[in-house]
Amino acid sequence: MFEREKIEALPQYRPRAKEAKLALSGIKVADFTHFVAGPLATMMLADFGADVIKIETPEKGDDFRHYPPIDPAIQAQGAPYLWTNRNKRSVAIDLKTPDGVKVALDLIASADVLMENFSTGVMARFGLDYETCARINPKLIYCSVSAYGREGPYSDRLGFDPIAQAESGFISMNGYPDRQGVRSGSAVMDVGTAMMASNAVLLALLARQKDGLGQFVEVALFDTAILMTGFGAMQHLAVGHDPKRNGNVSPDTCPSGVFESKDKPFYINCGNDKIFIRLFDQVIGRPDIATDPILQLRGNRLQKRDEIFAVLNEAFATQPWSYWQPKLRAAAVPHGEVRTLGEALRSDEVRSRELVGRIAHPVIGWIPNIASPIRLSRTPAIDPVAAPSVGEHSMEVLKEVLHYDNVQIEALKASGALGPSIAASYS
């Protein structure tokens, strides 16, 4: 069960200005995505005004709905699902029925964007492949998110975030040199792919403004993972060396890493020579080291990392973090406390940016919410609405978007295209 009292203690979001416009007003998205990368991408569009209609299997819905923790009062709305599906409408359609496919095609015919991340070939088996959809809607932006692309020798392979981390070389770069590499605890490849997909859709919409034509858009998890290896990939291509695992220190700058104050660990990143000088002169009180002509050069400091770290560790251990933090800030030395996730979510920085709060939920009153990191002054994100239950908006969409009459809706109920619960609820 969710911790209701703690959730209710979170601040409510400030409503957007009533006169503010929506960046994606009038854009309709047929959302066939599930799990993380696809739904997070469509949520980014929904946050800024796109009408995202999530097409789900009746009853069960998106498998990600069932990831814990789940409050018993709102089954099929686990916290991870709530994180990736706010501001959407859900329609329950059985795509294994001819009538269900017909409903999907009617939605696609009037959509601006279709996004899907099924295994390769699934949309084609439903009769919802790009060629079919483009014939009925030439202006459609059809975004396909896959593991290894929709064509080529690996298009049949399934892929998840940790697999992409492993095969891209990302895992080999992280951790300590005396053991195997480690994956990121966060689904960084899924999140990165979501950002790529939402950007790709926006680019295609911009192109459509110029020529009126839609197009097929593709984003692959593996492709994103290669990019996420950062400039290490270019370093390897330039000199042929695989990056070494360096734990919390940097192979390129020194001193950069985790240090221990008297009571808390913290990270310092000396990204250039001037920061190094300020650290030792203004923070540590060692102008002799700050002005050392050898140590003032980054390359030399990398060779003397152990000596430099020994001096810093000895100094930092003498005082608590409350002593060092203001000195580091005053000297403009990049620094940060090493926090748990809970500490980060309750930090002054998060509060000052209004990143965490609570939003209304129709069943349990309130749920926590993490704000979009995108800030637009004239067309801000919409006021957040909790992720929908399975098929919550089926009747609304059938009547108001597709303009089906009662005879058509009754026929869909009878055929099983809407699933048993929807048919029973509106009988």
Half-sphere exposure in the Cβ direction for 376 (13 Å, CA): 15
Is residue 385 within 8 Å of 87, Cβ to Cβ? Answer: yes
Q: Which of 112, 190, 273, 288 does the annotation list as catalytic?
A: 190
Handedness of CA 91, 95, 99, 102 (dihedral sign): positive
Q: CB atoms < 10 A from the CB of 244, how many?
A: 10
Look up residue 352 and give its amino acid: S
Those residues with Cβ within 8 angstroms of residue 235's Cβ, 6 or more apart along the chain or in another chain: 241, 243
Alpha-carbon torsion angle 40, 42, 47, 51, nearest 10: -150
Question: Which has the closest alpha carbon to 261: 308, 328, 344?
Answer: 328
Q: How large is the angle between the packed helices 406-415 and 98-109, nearest 10 degrees?
A: 140
Is residue 194 within 8 Å of 37, Cβ to Cβ? Answer: yes
The reply to whether omega before 255 is within 30° of 0 (cis) is yes
- In which residue ranges of the chain is pLDDT below 50? none
- In angstroms, the CA 203 to CA 220 distance is 16
CATH 3.40.50.10540 for the 4-230+346-425 domain, yes or no: yes
Q: State how beta strands 265-269 and 335-337 pair.
A: antiparallel
Assigned token pair, 268: 């310092």
Domain boundaries, the chain: 4-230+346-425, 265-337
Give the per-residue pLDDT at 364.
96
Question: Which has the closest alpha carbon to 115: 49, 42, 64?
Answer: 42
Look up residue 193 and give its amino acid: T
265-269 sheet: strands from edge to edge: 256-260, 265-269, 335-337
Handedness of CA 37, 27, 367, 78 (dihedral sign): negative
- In angstroms, the CA 168 to CA 189 distance is 10
Bridge partners, residue 143, by sequence: 115, 217
Q: Please calculate the CA angle 349-13-46 and round it to the nearest 5 degrees.
A: 100
Which SS3 state, helix, strand or coil, does residue 334 take? Answer: coil
Q: Would you call 190 a catalytic residue per the annotation?
A: yes
Q: How large is the angle between the packed helices 188-211 and 221-228, nearest 10 degrees?
A: 110
Assigned token pair, 115: 């996004």
**DSSP state for residue 12 in the 8-state scheme:** B
CATH topology for the 265-337 domain: formyl-coa transferase, domain 3 (3.30.1540)
Question: Which has the closest alpha carbon to 115: 39, 47, 50?
Answer: 39
Within this chain, domains 4-230+346-425 and 265-337 share the same CATH topology: no
Assigned token pair, 33: 């995505």
Which SS3 state, helix, strand or coil, does residue 142 take? Answer: strand
Q: How far is CA 52 from CA 84, 228, 321, 401, in A?
A: 12, 28, 46, 12
Compute and round to an integer the Cα radius of gyration of the chain. Answer: 26
> Which contacts qualify for 198-204: CB closer than 8 Å, 24 or more apart?
198/41, 198/42, 198/44, 198/45, 200/143, 201/41, 201/45, 201/113, 201/115, 201/141, 201/143, 204/141, 204/143
Bridge partners, residue 357, by sequence: 369
Give the per-residue pLDDT at 423.
56
How big is the chain, counted in residues?
A: 427
pLDDT digits (tens, 9 = 90+) for 112-159: 999 999 999 999 999 999 999 999 999 999 999 999 999 999 999 999
Q: How large is the angle between the packed helices 37-47 and 188-211, nearest 10 degrees?
A: 50
